[in-house]
Amino acid sequence: MEELKNLYKLIDYMNLDDIIYIKKNQHMDGRSIIYIVLSKEVRISKKDNAQVVAFIIKTINKALETSKIISNIEEFAIIVELKHYKKSKFGVHLPVALAKTLKVLFPNCLHKCYLRNSPMVFRCVFRLIYPLLDKDTRKKIFFIKGDKEIPCTEYSLDDV
């Protein structure tokens, strides 16, 4: 119970709800979309990894539930905005920890992952993560430059 309280304190302190969220009434091929926007002033230290990973796992579970309701498919999509990614704000440790954890907890649940506006620093971090990903997952990751449109669809719960 104490760990959960600490997690919520961290979430409030870092405003994770503003950084990692599911946009309501939007999907990609029937899958919920998780947005991760790294344009906020966020500093995540190595000691915060477990709490941030727990928050992302909770968000993915919500996305999977919504996808199941929308299209009876248990997959999710991710769009990550990296324009303001800097190693000083968001270190290497978290993406590596995430890759390892998500591979175990959510095998075959990723529909597509779009990494938008990734700077050179992130591409170097991605090279560290790449060997941890299986071949099928690698095929689902796309780097997007600028404001190129990503295929998303609006929906109403009345349509479901």
Give me the pLDDT at residue 128, please. 82
Count CB neighbours of 59 within 10 A.
Answer: 21
Residue 41 Cα distances to 15, 95, 125, angstroms: 10, 17, 19
Give me the pLDDT at residue 42, please. 60
Give me the pLDDT at residue 16, please. 73
- 32, 64 Cβ separation under 8 angstroms: yes
Mean pLDDT of the 3-30 span:
66
- 15, 54 Cβ separation under 8 angstroms: no
Rg (CA), the chain: 15
Give me the pLDDT at residue 72, please. 93
- 38, 85 Cβ separation under 8 angstroms: yes
Residue 160 — very low, low, confident or very high, per pLDDT cuts 50/70/90? very low
C-alpha span between 33 and 25 (Å, rounded): 10
Residue 4 — very low, low, confident or very high, per pLDDT cuts 50/70/90? very low
Mean pLDDT of the 22-36 span:
84
Strand extents, DSSP E, the chain = 20-28, 31-37, 76-81, 110-116, 141-144, 153-154
Give me the pLDDT at residue 14, please. 57
Residue 152 — very low, low, confident or very high, per pLDDT cuts 50/70/90? low
CATH 3.40.525.10 applies to domain 2-147:
yes
- What residue spans define the domains of the chain? 2-147
